[in-house]
Structure 1
Amino acid sequence: MREYEIVYVIRADLSDDDRAAKIERIHSLITDNGGQLGKVEDWGKRVLAYPIRHCTDAYYGLAEFQLAPENVKTIEERLNIDEEILRYQTISRA
């Protein structure tokens, strides 16, 4: 397993409960695919440098995790489908 880090940007117009559920869904995608979560950070609401899907602000978060390389693509495919996740970036820390 390799170490990865994902930064995600979630729509700001979600309720607190919906946002928490969305973050939990991201974390469960990692663990359901055999990953292990490490450090998780909530960076809060920030103004975007440019509008993304007509949104000018969003919630940022970060999660460090360990996962087999072949499962990263599966997680990214699921995140691409979700309209409430505006952007994400996964990087390898190894």
Structure 2
Amino acid sequence: MTHTHEYELMVILNPEIDERQVGANLDKFLAVITNDGGSIDNVDIWGRRRLAYEIQKKNEGIYAVVNFTATADATQEMDRQLKLSEQVMRTKVLRAEEAKAQVAAEAKRAEEKAARKTAKAAKA
């Protein structure tokens, strides 16, 4: 019995793709997960966004976030195929618990920063 885990995949696609084709483009890769008995829990297409820094001479990309449940092997294979695709500029796969921890850490940092700002303003 192989173990499955919950994962979160962040993909940045080439901005020249028609946004209406993003779901269909992703489906080819996500088939690796479903064919292995995993499940696609949620696909959230954020659309075209400005990149923090240039990737492949582009300063925009189409972002999508996919939550899925799969084996580690299927996840690695899907990520390998995504990285080989010319339409895919970046991928990042995180275990769901890591993703949640990162989001929580970011929120905590933002909260602490706001608290410092408020404290500084109160002194002034």
TM-score using structure 2 length:
0.68
Separation in 2 of the partners of 1:10 and 1:43?
A: 11
Residue in 1 that maps onto 2:109: none
Q: Deviation of residue 16 (structure 1)?
A: 3.6
Residue in 1 that maps onto 2:96: 93
User: Secondary structure of 1:5's match?
Assistant: strand
Q: Deviation of residue 27 (structure 1)?
A: 2.4
Percent identity over the alignment? 22
Separation in 2 of the partners of 1:63 and 1:15?
A: 19
Residue in 2 that maps onto 1:36: 39
Contact kept, 8 Å, 2:43 with 2:67, in 1: the verdict is yes
**5+ unaligned residues in a row in structure 2: which ranges?**
98-124
Residue in 1 that maps onto 2:27: 24
TM-score using structure 1 length:
0.87
Identify the structure with the greater helix proportion: 2
Separation in 2 of the partners of 1:44 and 1:53?
A: 18
What's the Cα RMSD here? 1.6
**5+ unaligned residues in a row in structure 1: which ranges?**
none
4+ runs deviating over 4 angstroms: none
Identify the structure with the greater strand proportion: 1
Larger-gyration structure (1/2): 2
Residue in 1 that maps onto 2:114: none
The structure 2 residue matched to 1:49, chosen from 41, 47, 52, is 52
Q: What is the aligned residue count? A: 94
